[in-house]
Amino acid sequence: MLATLALAPHALLSQPLAVGRHAVPGQTRSAVLMAERTPLIAGNWKMNTDLASAVELAKAVADASAKATDVDVAVCVPAPFLIPVKEAIKDSKVGVGAQDCYFEDAGAYTGEISTSMLKSVGTDYVVTGHSERRAIFGDDDEAVNKKTLKVLAEGLKAILCIGELKEERESGETFNVCDTQLTKGLAGVSAEQMADVVIAYEPVWAIGTGLTATPAMAQETHAYIRSWFVDNYSQEVADKVVIQYGGSVKADNVDELMACPDIDGALVGGASLQADGFSRIINFEK
C-alpha cells in the first residue's frame, strides 16, 4: 500500500487539507518568536540495538551534541538500555527518553513499566501516543491521555505524537485528526503543564517509508497545530510549545524542514540509528 505511495509521493501534494474549525494562519505570530523556542532533536531507536551498540551509539550522540548549539537533544531508547545509556551520556547535554509507559502506579501489570520506575533511572522524556503504539498495541486516545497525564504528574516531559494516516490525508482529514488527537490526548493538561509537553507531528504515511512531507506540507500542518494551541490554550502557550516533525527525517532533508517557522525539531527513527547521520541532523543548518 505504501509502496504505491512511494511511486507517487507528489500525488499527496494535490490533496487540499480540510480546514476544520480553526483558521490556518499563513505565517503565525509564533514564527516571529521562533527564536524563543529551543528546538528538540530526539532519536527514537524503537526496538533496535543491543547493549553494546546502544552504549556506542549513545556515546557518539553525546560527542556530536557537544558542538551543537541552541538545540536540545535526546535519545529515546529501549527500556533495558535506559541505565547504561544514561551513564554513557552523563557528561553531555543529551537527555534520555523512554518510548512508552503505563499509567497505573504499580501492581499486577505484567510487562508494563511505570513512570516512577522511569524516573528512578533518570529518564527525562517519555514518548506517548506513537503511531506504532496506536496501530500495533491498541493505544487509543484515552490511553494516550492517561499516559501523558501520568508522565506529567511524575515530573517528566512527554513527547506526545499525533498524525494522520495516508487515507486520512487523502480524504482531507489531516487537521481534523490532529484536532481530535490533541483534544483527547491533552484533556486535563493545564497551561502550566504544557511547559513539559512536546508535540511530535508525525504523518503516519511518512514514518519509516522514506516518504517525507515536503517542508510546505509539514509547515502547513505545524501552523495549524500552533493555531490549535492559540484557540485551546493561549497565545503564550502556542508561542512556547515545541512542535517536532517526524517521518523519514534524514541528514539530507533536515535543513529544509528546520527552516520552516513552525517546525521546532525532529523525532527521528531510522536515521537516529546511524551515528554519522544523526550527528548531522543534530547539527542542522541554522
CB of 246 to ligand PGA, least distance (A): 4
Active-site positions read 130, 202
| 186 versus 266: smaller Cβ distance to ligand PGA | 266
Side-chain half-sphere CA neighbours of 148 within 13 A: 32
| 98 versus 237: smaller Cβ distance to ligand PGA | 98
How would DSSP label each residue in 17-41? PPP-SS---SS-HHHHHGGGSPPEE
| 94 versus 238: smaller Cβ distance to ligand PGA | 94
Distance in angstroms (rounded) separating the CA atoms of residues 126 and 129: 10
CB of 242 to ligand PGA, least distance (A): 15
| 19 versus 135: smaller Cβ distance to ligand PGA | 135
| 95 versus 269: smaller Cβ distance to ligand PGA | 269
Residue where the block lists cell 495516508: 166
Give the interface with ligand PGA as residue ranges (CB under 6 A).
Answer: 44, 202, 207-208, 246-249, 267-271
CB of 149 to ligand PGA, least distance (A): 22
Specify the long-range contacts of residues 30-35, CB closer than 8 Å, at least 24 apart: 30/226, 30/238, 30/239, 30/261, 30/262, 31/261, 31/262, 33/239, 34/261, 34/262, 34/264
Q: Which residue is nearest to ligand PGA (CB)?
A: 269
Distance in angstroms (rounded) separating the CA atoms of residues 16 and 218: 13
Q: Which residues of 209-248 are buried (b: 16+ CB within 10 A; e: fewer)?
A: bebbbbbebbbbbbbbbbbbbbeebeeebbbbbbbbbbbb
Q: What angle do CA 247, 275, 199 make, to 5 degrees?
A: 35
CB of 221 to ligand PGA, least distance (A): 15
Distance in angstroms (rounded) separating the CA atoms of residues 24 and 161: 20
Decide if 26 contacts 223 (C-beta within 8 A).
yes
CB of 164 to ligand PGA, least distance (A): 14
